A and B are shown apart, each in its own frame.
Chain A
Amino acid sequence: MTEERIGVYVCHCGTNIAGTVDVEEVSKWAGEKLKKDGVVVSRDYKFMCSSLGQELIQADIKEKSLNRVVVAACSPHLHEKTFRTACQKADMNPYLCEMVSIREQVSWVHTDKRVATEKAKALISGGVLRVAKDEPLEAIHVPINPATLIVGAGIAGIQAALEIADSGFPVYLVERDSSIGGHMAQFDKTFPTLDCAACILTPKMVDAGDHPNITLLTLSEIEQVDGYVGNFTVTIRKGARYVKEDVCTGCGICIEKCPIKVIDTNFEAGLGYRKAIYRNFPQAIPKYPAIDTEHCTYFLHGKCKACQLFCPTQPNSIDFEQQDEVIRIEVGNIILATGYDLFNSRRIPQYGYGRLANVFTSLEFERMCNAAGPTEGRVFLRDGITQPKTVGIIHCVGSRDKHYNNYCSVICCMQSLKFAHLVKERTGAEVYEFYIDMRTAFKDYDEFYQRVLQEGVNFIRGRVAEATDAARLPGEEGKLIIQAEDTLIGKQRRIPVDMVILSAGLEPRADSEEVAKKFGISCSSNGFFIEKHPKLDPISTLTEGIFIAGACQGPKDIPASVTQGAAAAARVLGRIQSKELALEPIRASVIEERCSGCRICNDLCPFNAITFNEELNVTNINQALCQGCGTCVAACPSGAISGTQFSDEQILAQLDGILSLPINSGKVKTLESVPA
Chain B
Amino acid sequence: MKYGYYPGCSLERNAIAYQQSTMAIAKPLGIEFIEVEDWNCCGATEYFAIDALAAYALVGRNLALASQQKLNGDRNQLVAPCSACFLNLYKTDHYMAEDNKLNANVNEALAAGGLHYDPGTVKVRHLLDIIVNDIGYEAIAERVTKPLFNLRVAPYYGCMIVRPASIESFDNPEYPTSLDKLTHSLGAEVVDFPLKAHCCGGHMTQISENTALELIRRLLKNAADYDADMIVTLCPMCQLNLDAYQENVNKHFGTNFHIPVLYFTQLMGLAFGLSANNLGLGKEFINAKPALDKISSEPLKKQRRKKRPPKETLPMPTMPEES
Contacts and interface: CB of A to CB of B under 8 A. Distances in A.
Interface in B264-323: 310, 312-322
B313 A270 contact: no
B287 to A, nearest CB: 26
A354 interface: yes
B175 interface: yes
A345 B314 contact: no
Contacts of A349: 172, 174-175, 322
Given A361-B317, A361-B319, 5 more contacts: A270-B317, A271-B315, A344-B320, A353-B317, A384-B314
Interface in B183-222: 192, 194-195, 218, 221-222
Contacts of B174: 348-350
Interface residues of A, number: 31
Contacts of A345: 317, 319
A384 B194 contact: no
B225 interface: yes
A492 to B, nearest CB: 13
A292 to B, nearest CB: 15
A36 interface: no
A384 B313 contact: yes
A265 B321 CA distance: 14
Interface string B156-195: 0000000000000000101100000000000000001011
Contact of B218 (A350, A375, A469, A472): A472
A468 interface: yes
Nearest to B222: A470
A470 B315 contact: no
Contacts of B321: 346, 354
B320 A346 contact: yes
Interface in A250-282: 263, 265, 270-273
A327 interface: no
A385 to B, nearest CB: 5
Nearest to A466: B174
26 contacts: A263-B318, A265-B318, A270-B318, A271-B314, A271-B315, A344-B322, A346-B320, A346-B322, A347-B322, A349-B174, A353-B317, A354-B319, A357-B316, A361-B317, A375-B314, A380-B312, A382-B313, A382-B314, A384-B310, A385-B310, A385-B312, A468-B194, A468-B195, A470-B218, A471-B221, A472-B218
A488 to B, nearest CB: 24
Nearest to B318: A270
Contacts of B319: 270, 344-346, 353-354, 361
Given A347-B322, A472-B221, A382 B194 contact: no
Contacts of A270: 315, 317-319
Interface in B124-147: none
Interface of B: 172, 174-175, 192, 194-195, 218, 221-222, 225, 310, 312-322
A354 B315 contact: no
A156 to B, nearest CB: 25
Nearest to B309: A383
Contacts of A383: 310, 312-314
A36 B310 CA distance: 93
Report which residue of A345, A357, A384 has the largest number of chain B beta carbons within 10 angstroms of its beta carbon. Answer: A384
A538 interface: no
B213 to A, nearest CB: 13
Interface in A315-353: 344-350, 353
A355 interface: yes
Nearest to B226: A470
A367 to B, nearest CB: 10
Nearest to B193: A470
Contacts of A271: 314-315
B194 A346 contact: no
A272 B318 CA distance: 11
A353 B318 CA distance: 10
A382 to B, nearest CB: 5
Nearest to A352: B194
Given A347-B322, A349-B174, A470 B195 contact: yes
B277 to A, nearest CB: 36
A344 B323 CA distance: 12
A192 interface: no
Contacts of B314: 271-272, 374-375, 380, 382-384
A471 to B, nearest CB: 7
B157 to A, nearest CB: 13
Nearest to B177: A349
Nearest to A356: B194
A48 to B, nearest CB: 48
Contacts of B175: 349-350
B317 A354 contact: yes
A346 B175 CA distance: 11
B143 to A, nearest CB: 31
B319 to A, nearest CB: 5
A348 B317 CA distance: 14
A587 B321 CA distance: 49
Contacts of A272: 314-315
A384 B312 contact: yes
A88 to B, nearest CB: 56
A382 B194 CA distance: 20
Contacts of B312: 380, 383-385
Contacts of A471: 221-222, 225
Contacts of B225: 470-471
Closest 4 pairs (CB-CB, A-B): A384-B312, A349-B175, A470-B194, A349-B174
A375 B311 CA distance: 12
Contacts of A472: 218, 221
A469 B221 CA distance: 12
Nearest to B315: A263
Pick from B174, B222, B310, B316 the residue with the most CB of A within 10 Å. B316
Contacts of B315: 263, 270-273
**A353, A375, A382 interface centre (most CB from chain B within 10 Å):** A382
A273 B315 CA distance: 8
A256 B316 CA distance: 24
Contacts of A364: 317
A451 to B, nearest CB: 29
Nearest to A344: B319
Contact of A382 (B221, B222, B316, B320): B316
Which of B194, B195, B322 gathers the greatest number of chain A CB atoms within 10 Å?
A: B194
Contacts of A350: 174-175
Contacts of B320: 344, 346
B307 to A, nearest CB: 13
Nearest to A477: B225
A345 B218 CA distance: 26
B322 to A, nearest CB: 5
B194 A469 contact: yes
Contacts of B192: 355
Nearest to A381: B314
A270 to B, nearest CB: 5
Name the residue among B318, B319, B320 with the largest chain A CB count within 10 angstroms.
B319
A374 B314 CA distance: 8
A354 B316 contact: yes
Nearest to A347: B322
A45 B222 CA distance: 76
Given A468-B194, A470-B195, A346 B218 contact: no
A113 B172 CA distance: 53
Nearest to B176: A349
A468 B175 CA distance: 12
Contacts of B172: 349
Nearest to A263: B315
A341 to B, nearest CB: 11
Contacts of A347: 322
A471 B175 CA distance: 18
Contacts of A346: 317, 319-322
Interface string A365-386: 0000000001100001011110
A343 to B, nearest CB: 10
